Chains A and B, each alone.
Chain A
Amino acid sequence: MSRPGFVLEVDRSTPPILFHHGEGFRLEKLPAGSRVVYPAEPVAPLKDPDAAIRHALLNPVGDSQPLPSLLHSGMKLTIAMDNQAVPLPPMQRPDNRQRVIEIVLDMAAAAGVDDVELIVAHGLHRRMTEPELRHILGDRIYDSFAPHGLLTQHDAEDHDNLVLVGRTEQGEHVELNKRAVTSDLLIYVNVNLVAMDGGHKSTMTGISSYRSLKHHHNVTGMQHSRSFMDPPNSELHNSTWRMGRLLAGAVKIFQIETTLNTDTFPSQFSFLQKREWEWSARDRAAFLATSKSLDRVPPRMARSIFHGMKSPQRMTSVQAGEVEAVHQLTLANLHRQHLVPVEGQADVLTMGLPYLGPYNVNSILNPLLVMCLGLGYFFNLYRGKPLVRKGGVVILSHPTRWEFHPVHHPSYIDFFEQVLAETTDPLEIEKKFEEDFATDPWYIHLYRNSYAYHGVHAFYMWYWGAHALQHVGQVIIVGGEPRAVRRLGFKPASTLRDALEMAEDVVGRNPSITHIHNPPIFLADVT
């Protein structure tokens, strides 16, 4: 039985607390009276995931029929799936998507379906490489479909292969992948890492175009998503739900969603899963050996060590059928693992940012992604109200090097160098610069033919933090490269003590402090 998450009140006897710090760690002594939110321990995984998948496909929820009765000879079947952005870190083989799709294809083979195509629903993300595809789909699927051109990656700039399904009452364009929309059945297979993922958002971001995405990926939408990890209170989700319902009226969709437990780190990093006072001699030795050696190797090598790590996360649930009914069950299963009750807000919120976010798998967590991970993802890991009060201070811990992956993030470099040099105001950035970047032919060329994120993606990273930027009074980054931190519009500090002193200038003396001990991931239920 796994123990639930809880809030620790720090006193003088509390040991130093672990902060993730990019490709490294810091142990920080928090002032007495601070609180630390610990995630729940990993819940028990499904004993027989394959049997659970079969059961879900044969007993769908909502008004959907069992999958075998939707499959017949002569039909056109498209299977779309999430890309490498989930789960984090990439899970050990076999991935949930491989397990699900193999069983779906087995059923399709039994029904005599010949016309099958697989689409990676990566939206405006970069295309996946062959090893990445093999990792999430397995060699059997890859070798069966990729050589025949039947495993494709969605191209949001291939206008010949996009179809305008219609417009919602609010005027939102629903423009999607032509193959998916013209299929007799569209099956979507996801990995629901956090509550933001899944539901109609899967199709509305994964296989849509910039024209569609900009209706919900915008500053106003994000400022009114409180938080985007809580779909009923998220404008991002309201918009995607409206658009998704329009699509569901035009195409038969069979959604398959899976959830994971939070067994995030492999055994050599198991101390990262534990509460500090429960570290054994072995954990302490592992921590010391790891952090000392990481300090001594070049960042590039440390990065490759971390990105080689595959997480032992296991499937905790699988549900299939009609999109909304499925997603409701998914959220309940996610909450079973993630929710941690927290009372009240703090003046200062501290967080240690790890080496990885959804947009830098096998890549670099550049300063823009540091902002997105801290103020976008971690800040929004709440339900109810933010963990920090309005006008409070957020302290992030990360090396924040002025460093970008030139292949994956070309438009980020220009965004950082040109746009942020002028302004950090999301609304102004959106108004003045977005269109140019989104329609730049060079970025479009790189997105379509290389492994680059779309030109506009850098903007979305900034918008992801728009709600936090509007809410907090100051952001401080501990241990970051000062010029990169200043370019983001934040304040650099060399130690946590310095950062807390700087925070006092904004929130007053003896502030209340909450630290989130994340990852493993949790969702704070703040009352």
Chain B
Amino acid sequence: MRVPVRARFPLGKPNWPSSVPRPALERRTGVDYDTDWARKPAARVARAVIVDDVLRPALHLIASPTVHGEDRLVGLEAPAIFVANHHSHLDTSVLLTSLPEPFRHKAVVAAAADYFFTTRAKGAMSALAIGAIPMERTKVGRRSADMAAELLDDGWNLIMFPEGGRSPDGWGRAFRGGAAYLSLRCGRPVVPLYIEGTGRLWRRGKKWPKVAKRGEGVHLVFGSPVWPEEGEDARRLAARVENTVAALADEWSTDWWSARRRAATGTTPGLTGPSGGAWRRAWALDADASSRSGRRAWP
């Protein structure tokens, strides 16, 4: 016996007659999801409660984040574009809960339209909880760029992960030009950040995060704001931002003075790791992780 899947008309929706052409459906998911409501006062209050009273204590338990270099933001006026390397779903929450005021409670997060906004419920959750806005990452589209620029012009801080997604293998990927383009278009600085350790706790492909062991918490290093220089194009600015994040990673793994000296001579280790076979990259990552934490990533 067939079990009816849905209630019949008139209790349920009527069928659409096949002879009648269907009007084009208005897409309300993906990049077309409207997040305006999530920036209204009531939603902002709810988000402030979620960020400060739910996410922050939860992260403290799971990841024990430590913030470095916050002093580099002293005197910086909002809005700004915050960009970081991206290893894990934890990155957004770590970054959002670590942002100092006046940035934290007026921030939107550029989130992948094809991941976070595939259904309206998912989109609503993302928009409410972290202030996500849908960002096209599989093709070049003006719509998401225009929306982000409008929000920046309205004084909203923007959080972006210019690698375009979480790292598949623990190494970083080349930065795309979106953040740099917005910085040039809106005349606002890019604040580079380096996030360390989130990949250990919740790497791509894992369903749930691990709880950080003592001394293995997450670290977040703020860099000095990078302002676009005269005549600079988005590609060069993006490269400069990527180099700055690499220098922050170097600063984290060694010390600031050594990192500055390497940056001055152009010998800062890149974020993307060595080229070559997958095993060689994994091997190098293990060596890198051991040098930083004294702990072997491989058995």
- Which residues of A are in contact with B by a Cβ distance under 8 Å? 48-50, 93-94, 98, 105-106, 109-112, 114, 116, 138-141, 143-145, 147
Contact = CB atoms under 8 A, between A and B. Distances in A.
The 7 closest A-B pairs by CB, nearest first: A144-B257, A140-B256, A144-B255, A109-B260, A109-B264, A94-B71, A110-B264
A162 to B, nearest CB: 27
B69 A93 contact: no
Contacts of B72: 94
Contact of A109 (B69, B71, B75, B257): B257
B58 to A, nearest CB: 26
A105 B257 contact: yes
Given A50-B224, A112-B261, A140-B251, 14 more contacts: A93-B74, A109-B260, A109-B263, A112-B264, A112-B265, A114-B261, A138-B71, A139-B68, A139-B69, A140-B69, A140-B255, A141-B256, A143-B255, A144-B256
Nearest to B265: A112
A524 to B, nearest CB: 32
Contacts of B258: 144
A94 B74 contact: yes
A139 B265 CA distance: 23
B257 A98 contact: no
Contacts of B75: 48-49
A143 B253 CA distance: 11
A32 B257 CA distance: 60
Contacts of B263: 109
Contacts of B71: 93-94, 98, 138
Interface footprint category on B:
10 to 19
Contacts of A143: 255-256
A247 B276 CA distance: 58
Interface string B258-276: 1011011100000000000
Interface string B62-76: 000000110110110
A155 to B, nearest CB: 23
B257 A145 contact: yes
Contacts of B74: 93-94
Contact of A141 (B257, B261, B264): B257
Contacts of B265: 112
Contacts of A48: 75
Interface in B138-196: none
Interface of B: 68-69, 71-72, 74-75, 224, 251, 255-258, 260-261, 263-265
Nearest to B254: A144
Nearest to A49: B75
Main secondary structure on chain B at its contact with chain A? helix
Contacts of A145: 257
22 contacts: A48-B75, A50-B224, A93-B71, A94-B71, A94-B74, A98-B71, A105-B257, A105-B260, A106-B260, A110-B264, A112-B261, A112-B264, A112-B265, A116-B257, A140-B69, A141-B256, A141-B257, A143-B256, A144-B255, A144-B256, A145-B257, A147-B255
A315 B281 CA distance: 47
A93 B68 CA distance: 13
Interface centre among B72, B260, B263 (most CB of A within 10 A): B260
B296 to A, nearest CB: 24
B267 to A, nearest CB: 11
Contacts of B224: 50
A143 B68 CA distance: 12
A454 B224 CA distance: 40
Interface centre among A49, A106, A145 (most CB of B within 10 A): A106
A109 B261 contact: yes
A144 B71 CA distance: 17
A110 B258 CA distance: 12
A146 to B, nearest CB: 10
Interface centre among B75, B257, B263, B264 (most CB of A within 10 A): B257
Contacts of A49: 75
Contacts of B255: 140, 143-144, 147
A498 to B, nearest CB: 47
Contacts of A144: 255-258
Nearest to A146: B255
Nearest to A93: B71
Nearest to A314: B75
B244 to A, nearest CB: 13
A333 to B, nearest CB: 19
Interface centre among B72, B256, B258 (most CB of A within 10 A): B256
Nearest to B255: A144
Contacts of B260: 105-106, 109
A474 B75 CA distance: 48
A222 B51 CA distance: 59
A147 B258 CA distance: 13
A161 to B, nearest CB: 23
A106 B256 CA distance: 10
Nearest to B221: A140
A139 B256 CA distance: 9
Contacts of B257: 105, 109, 116, 140-141, 144-145
Contacts of A140: 69, 251, 255-257
A75 B224 CA distance: 28
A122 to B, nearest CB: 22
A116 B257 CA distance: 10
A94 B72 CA distance: 8
Nearest to A45: B75
Nearest to A116: B257
A49 B71 CA distance: 13
A110 to B, nearest CB: 4
B95 to A, nearest CB: 20
Nearest to B77: A47
Nearest to A145: B257
A143 B263 CA distance: 17
A111 to B, nearest CB: 8
A48 B224 CA distance: 13
Nearest to B257: A144
A109 B75 CA distance: 25
Nearest to B258: A144
Nearest to B74: A94
A144 B251 CA distance: 9
Contacts of A106: 260, 264
A145 B257 CA distance: 8
A98 B256 CA distance: 13
A109 B261 CA distance: 5
Contacts of A98: 71
A116 B75 CA distance: 29
A258 B258 CA distance: 27
A125 B251 CA distance: 33
Contacts of A141: 256-257
A48 B74 CA distance: 10
Nearest to A150: B257
A369 B68 CA distance: 37
A103 to B, nearest CB: 10
